[in-house]
Amino acid sequence: MSDQSKYEIQDEALIRDDIAGYLRKHEEKDLLRILTCGSVDDGKSTLIGRLLYDCKMIYEDQLAAVTRDSKVHGTTGGDFDPALLTDGLKAEREQGITIDVAYRYFSTDKRKFIIADCPGHEQYTRNMATGASTANLAVILIDARLGVVTQTKRHSFICSLLGIKHVAVVVNKMDLVDWSAETYERIRNEYNAFVSRLDFSDIHFFPVSALAGDNVVEKSENMPWYDGSTLLHHLESVNIATDRNLVDMRFPVQLVSRPNLDFRGYAGTVASGVVRVGQEVASLPSRRTSTVKSIETAAGPVEEAYPPMAVTLTLNDEIDVSRGDMLAPVNNLPRLDNEFEAMVVWMHDTPAREGQSFLIKQTTNVVPGVLTEVRYQMDVNELRKLPGDVDSLALNEVGRVHLTLHRPLAFDSYRKNHSTGAFVLIDRVSNITVGAGMIVDRPVRKSDEGPKSQNISRTRGEVTRVTREALLGQQGHTLWLTGLSGSGKSTVAMELERRLTDSGRLCCLLDGDNVRHGLNRDLGFSHDDRTENIRRIAEVARLMNDTGIIVIAAFISPYITDRAGAREIVGDKSFCEVFLDTPLEVCEERDPKGLYAKVRAGEIHQFTGITDPYEAPENPEIRIDTTSQDVEAGVSQVMEVLRDRGVIPR
């Protein structure tokens, strides 16, 4: 007897003996939102139809209608066509393709599911992006006869862009390749090679025949070489509980509730994190602070709330809080700025152009803004920037843009927090949603951005960089050491300086604390000040590199975009990112300056790794694991890279 049959017998008994218990059991089940995508005719609708049919989630009259329509519109020669369970539009049935996003609900004994069946055609990329925006898991279908095609890559990129971490790759139509294990392994290796550059944390592969039902709900007897689970079993068991951001509390205010003179509450949905009674919060953008007095729900007051609970918060102080404002912990605030950069999927026939004005809707807030610059357009099929300058985005194109707002907005990067990092662009005349965006981070300040002073010009000397480097017998280069406080940056930097000097190389060490005593003594530790701190250091490093000096820059530099900005200023060929990869607990145990102890005692409020985030490098040129490598080994690793790059002779 199959597991599904066992569940049905148990449910029948529960319905007969305890109907309230049956309803409670199904109400409390976990919900998984699934996106299905892939190229045209890969079998997305057929797969969903097979899931619904084999899970017995189809009413008899619906099944009869599909059986009847299969003889007219089906693609199976008159037999039952599962695809017609989801292809509901007339045009879809006539063409045998999916055009719009179709949502289907079904449930098993272990979990509830909402499936978004997305179109495969490139012209419907915007529809696919819509379906992916709320999904926990993506089911990407690949036709076993064709392998990885352009649309497979396109949809995989968009899933990664929209932050989907879990992917089930379904190699469909295995019956048409004689259930070949070699074909399955070839496709698996090809796909893994492609997605190695994408941000997926969990990928599983399934060889199936959606039309016949092999490895969909029941194990296939036609593929004895496959020892993995069925697709349904994976969907029932995949862990998505850890995907939610329960660290960064964000509460966008949707409504100020005043039922009487004695009550003022702020209603909304907890976007992320956990809010507790007694917690000190700040209202953004005003930055006024108070503490949470109570948390009210439809079922009564609670001590804490978490996403996606809809609650009403009351505060102990009468501060100004309105719809569109955001409540957040005073020691963990989002960024507040009137400009940011984002990846945008353009969804309208009229192209987006620089200088165009939009309404930007993010959480409960709507702010007017301007598309200041289209930085570049992405070739989503090859995962690269398209060459050449662009100033617009056409329908279904994806690009990175710079937006300037009319007033400050509280936000996080999309990678960190999907709720506060996502937004839509609305046309101010027609009120139509024309684009969907994911905030990348604060703007990267380009090295060629003009200074505020107008009547100035650069002076070029007659002695070139090449001449200076030939004189010194080395190339100007910047070694950018990044890592948490206590990771060993200064220790490695000082040993590296000694090693280079002993070998007759001219170098200079720029250390975070030393620079803040002089050049950057006017800067604090806010987001903007941290960015300016790194910009100034990068400018100094570039000037030194121009004279042929090797610069060792040892700075926490916690943000990816700040380090990218430093690389842009110095120049990619002269920049080497060195990541001191040390876990937070190890850094805190070392605590060479006693800073972690002060943070835990509440004496320091803005500290990377504890109250402020650290964004680890994704692809550093050098990674030094200080838990397994000693200082000598780490420095030797850097020296070898310098020799390979021709910075110093062998």
pLDDT at 99: 43
Q: What is the pLDDT of residues 331-365, one digit of tens each?
A: 889 998 888 999 999 988 999 998 899 999 999 99
pLDDT at 439: 93
pLDDT at 98: 42
Residue 110 has pLDDT above 80, yes or no: yes
Residue 85 has pLDDT above 70, yes or no: no
Q: Among residues 187, 87, 196, 99, which one has the least CA distance to residue 145?
A: 187
Of 113-122, 178-187, 420-429, the poorest mean pLDDT is in 113-122
Looking at the DSSP bridge assignments, the partners of residue 343 are 400, 438
Give the whole-angstrom CA distance, residue 156 versus residue 167: 9
Q: Among residues 344, 133, 108, 107, which one has the least CA distance to residue 118?
A: 133
Residue 627 has pLDDT above 60, yes or no: yes
Same domain? For 430 and 517 the reply is: no
Q: Decide if 64 is inside a domain.
A: yes
Q: Decide if 8 is inside a domain.
A: yes
Give the whole-angstrom CA distance, residue 554 versus residue 564: 15
Q: What is the pLDDT of residues 136-155, one digit of tens each?
A: 899 999 999 999 988 888 88
Give the whole-angstrom CA distance, residue 390 versus residue 392: 6
Residue 479 and residue 557 in contact, taking contact as beta carbons nearer than 8 Å? no
Same domain? For 267 and 214 the reply is: no
Give the pLDDT mean for 237-253. Answer: 88
Give the pLDDT mean for 405-419. Answer: 90
CA atoms within 13 A on the CB side of 576: 24
User: Residue 447 — pLDDT band, cuts 50, 70, 90?
Assistant: very low
User: Residue 12 — pLDDT band, cuts 50, 70, 90?
Assistant: low
Same domain? For 361 and 295 the reply is: no
User: Residue 92 — pLDDT band, cuts 50, 70, 90?
Assistant: very low
Give the whole-angstrom CA distance, residue 437 versus residue 421: 8
Same domain? For 394 and 529 the reply is: no
pLDDT at 54: 77
Same domain? For 359 and 419 the reply is: yes
> How many domains are contained in the chain?
4
Q: Structural domain of residue 418, as residue ranges? A: 335-441
Q: What is the pLDDT of residues 33-42, one digit of tens each?
A: 998 888 777 7
Q: What is the pLDDT of residues 272-289, one digit of tens each?
A: 999 999 999 999 998 899
Q: Decide if 458 is inside a domain.
A: no
Distance of CA 377 to the CA centre of its chain: 18
The proportion of the chain whose per-residue pLDDT surpasses 70, expressed as a percent, equals 84
The domain that holds 565 is classified in CATH as 3.40.50.300
Phi-psi region of 304 (alpha: psi -120 to 50; beta: other; left: phi over 0): beta
Give the whole-angstrom CA distance, residue 422 versus residue 443: 16
Give the pLDDT mean for 481-501. Answer: 91
Same domain? For 477 and 366 the reply is: no
pLDDT at 68: 61
Q: Decide if 462 is inside a domain.
A: no
The domain that holds 341 is classified in CATH as 2.40.30.10
Give the whole-angstrom CA distance, residue 360 versus residue 411: 12
Q: What is the pLDDT of residues 501-559, one digit of tens each?
A: 999 999 999 988 888 888 888 887 767 778 888 999 999 999 999 999 999 999 988 88
Give the whole-angstrom CA distance, residue 297 versus residue 331: 26
Structure tokens at 446: 């380009």
Q: Decide if 457 is inside a domain.
A: no
pLDDT at 94: 45
Q: Among residues 383, 344, 387, which one has the least CA distance to residue 156?
A: 383
Give the pLDDT mean for 63-74. Answer: 55
Residue 68 and residue 74 in contact, taking contact as beta carbons nearer than 8 Å? no
Q: What is the pLDDT of residues 147-193, one digit of tens each?
A: 998 888 888 888 888 888 899 999 999 999 999 999 999 999 999 88
Residue that is written with structure tokens 């002695």 in the block: 463
Q: Quick one: 407 exposed, middle or buried, by C-beta within 10 A (0-12, 13-18, 19+)?
A: exposed
Give the pLDDT mean for 386-402. Answer: 85
Same domain? For 426 and 504 the reply is: no
**What is the average pLDDT score of the chain?**
83
User: Residue 126 — pLDDT band, cuts 50, 70, 90?
Assistant: low
Same domain? For 522 and 615 the reply is: yes
pLDDT at 522: 80
Same domain? For 133 and 42 the reply is: yes
Residue 423 and residue 413 in contact, taking contact as beta carbons nearer than 8 Å? no
User: Residue 640 — pLDDT band, cuts 50, 70, 90?
Assistant: very high
Q: Decide if 534 is inside a domain.
A: yes
Residue 508 and residue 549 in contact, taking contact as beta carbons nearer than 8 Å? yes
Chosen domain end from 291, 314, 329:
329
Of residues 486 and 53, the one with the higher pLDDT is 486
DSSP states of 458-477 = ----SS-HHHHHHHHTS--E
Same domain? For 113 and 158 the reply is: yes
The reply to whether the predicted model has a pTM over 0.75 is no
Torsion of CA 585, 590, 595, 600, to 10 degrees: 40
- The interaxial angle of helices 527-546 and 465-472, nearest 10 deg, is 70
Chosen domain end from 329, 359, 376:
329
Q: Decide if 484 is inside a domain.
A: yes
pLDDT at 8: 57
Please state whether beta strands 422-427 and 357-362 pair in parallel, antiparallel, or not at all (unpaired). antiparallel
Give the whole-angstrom CA distance, residue 140 versus residue 158: 12
Structure tokens at 458: 């650069």
Give the pLDDT mean for 414-425. Answer: 91
Same domain? For 237 and 257 the reply is: no
Structure tokens at 358: 């939009």
Give the whole-angstrom CA distance, residue 545 versus residue 548: 5
Residue that is written with structure tokens 């002993």 in the block: 502
Mark 549-582 as b/e (b = at least 16 C-beta within 10 Å).
Answer: bbbbbbbbbbbbbbbbbbbbbbbeebbbbbbbbb
Residue 618 has pLDDT above 60, yes or no: yes
pLDDT at 96: 42
Same domain? For 404 and 490 the reply is: no
pLDDT at 446: 45
Q: What is the pLDDT of residues 452-478, one digit of tens each?
A: 555 656 666 778 888 888 888 899 999
Q: Among residues 584, 597, 639, 592, which one has the least CA distance to residue 491?
A: 592
Residue 67 has pLDDT above 70, yes or no: no
Please state whether beta strands 326-329 and 280-284 pair in parallel, antiparallel, or not at all (unpaired). antiparallel
Q: Among residues 110, 138, 94, 85, which one has the least CA distance to residue 10?
A: 110
**CA end-to-end span of the chain:** 70
Residue 125 has pLDDT above 80, yes or no: no
Chosen domain end from 212, 243, 274:
243
Residue that is written with structure tokens 């090797």 in the block: 550
Q: Decide if 187 is inside a domain.
A: yes
